[in-house]
Structure 1
Amino acid sequence: MPAQTRTESPSPTPPSLARFNTEPAEDIERALLACLRSLRWARRLTDHRPYPDLDSLLAAADEAAYDLTPGDLSEALAAEALPALPDGVYAAAHTALGAAHAAYESRFGHVFVICVDSTSPDEALNQVLTGIRSRLTNDPEEERVVAAEELRRLAKRRLATFLRGPGLQNTAAPPRGATSHI
């Protein structure tokens, strides 16, 4: 009896990705705008469907992010907002964070964005304050590059969460936030 070779079947496509690949373009663009905050970015990902898996979609989102024009980046940054602080944060922290955000926005013309996914919620406030203070020393062009990278990271997280979560049943924009933990 000849030995049989076992063929690995590819992992199944998550139902939300299958729907993402087949839903009408207008619905997908609207859903992507909630994650990416730039119409050009959303259209590019929509136009290149179907995606075989989530990693391919996230890689395409990365690639598209690097092609954003200054206007596209301004559009995405303008749609960001300051995050709400978690309960239990002292008034002094609110004041310090508010002052730091105001100084940053005055200097650069947009809200501060930072992705703190790998930071515990207890350390996130400190990381945000440290990040703002550090980045206030950047020149505007250097900061635009840093902000674009942080925005790219936030968008990838939002996109992955959207597709791993309830999927296309709820395409309303999530609460806007400049950070992921606070």
Structure 2
Amino acid sequence: MNAAQPHDAERTLLTCCGSRHWAHRVAAHRPYPDLDALLAAADEAAYDLAPDDLAEALAAEPLRPAFPPGPGYEAAATALRAATAAYESRFGHAFVVCLDAVAPSEALDHLLASIRARLGHDPEEERAVAAEELRRLARGRLTRLAHSQIENAESAATAANTAHAASTVRATPPAAREHAVAAPAQRGGPHRDSPYVPV
């Protein structure tokens, strides 16, 4: 993230929050010393989203949440489709909610309860709630992105170290390796039982 070109960094950040203003602002404050600093900057940029920026970010979110089939899924999916359609009709944008702190087994019920409760909001109140959920979503996505990049970097470093060690062993002639092993016994002159002589 710190080393990327500005347009590449912004393009990556847009996968976390669909506001171009937000992505530009977070990218412009690089480099970040650690993840906490990055998340703090992301929060600050999210708090300052203008109405048009918020609308842009909401428009980038998927309209229909996706959940894998499971017990009772069909009935819940039908209820979810009806609730999201009602929400979109009332507020004109996708329903967003951060489920990072919710157990997977409880996610669908939590989603349905949240959307039904928020249908009772007036538009101004709901914009504030949606903005907060977008901020939380961006934090979670940034955290997962950072951890993924760290894991990729560590894997690449491990692979490079392994390849370097293997090439070093292959590049060392057998005679040289044998001499290196015998060297401790040759201090002060060749050992009488050693088959090796210093060269």
| Fold in common (TM above 0.5) | yes
Equivalent residue of 1:22, what SS? coil
Measure, in 2, the Cα distance between the counterparts of 1:90 and 1:164. 32
RMSD between aligned residues? 1.4
Q: Which amino acid aligns with 1:24?
A: Q
Structure label with greater radius of gyration = 2
Show the 5 A alignment for 1:9-88: 20-81=1-62, 82-88=64-70
Q: 2:131 aligns with which of 148, 152, 155?
A: 148
AA aligned to 2:108 is: L
Counterpart Cα distance in 2 of 1:35 and 1:157:
8
Match of 1:128 in 2: 111
Which structure would you say has the larger RCO, counting Cα contacts within 8 Å and 6 or more residues apart? 1
For structure 2, the 5+ residue unaligned runs are 153-199
Identify the match of residue 113 of structure 1 among 96, 100, 124: 96
The answer for the alignment partner of 2:169 in structure 1 is none
Identical residues among aligned pairs (%): 62
How many residue pairs get aligned? The number is 150
Q: Distance in 2 between matches of 1:69 and 1:79?
A: 16
Distance 2:134 2:68 in 1: 21
**Segments of 4+ in structure 1 off by > 6 A?**
none
CA distance in 1: counterparts of 2:29 and 2:53, whole angstroms: 18
TM superposition score normalised by structure 2: 0.73
Instruction: After TM superposition, list the pairs within 5 Å mapping 1:93-112 onto structure 2.
Output: 93-112=76-95
**SS at structure 1 position matched to 2:39:** helix
- C-alpha separation between the residues in 2 aligned to 1:144 and 1:111? 11
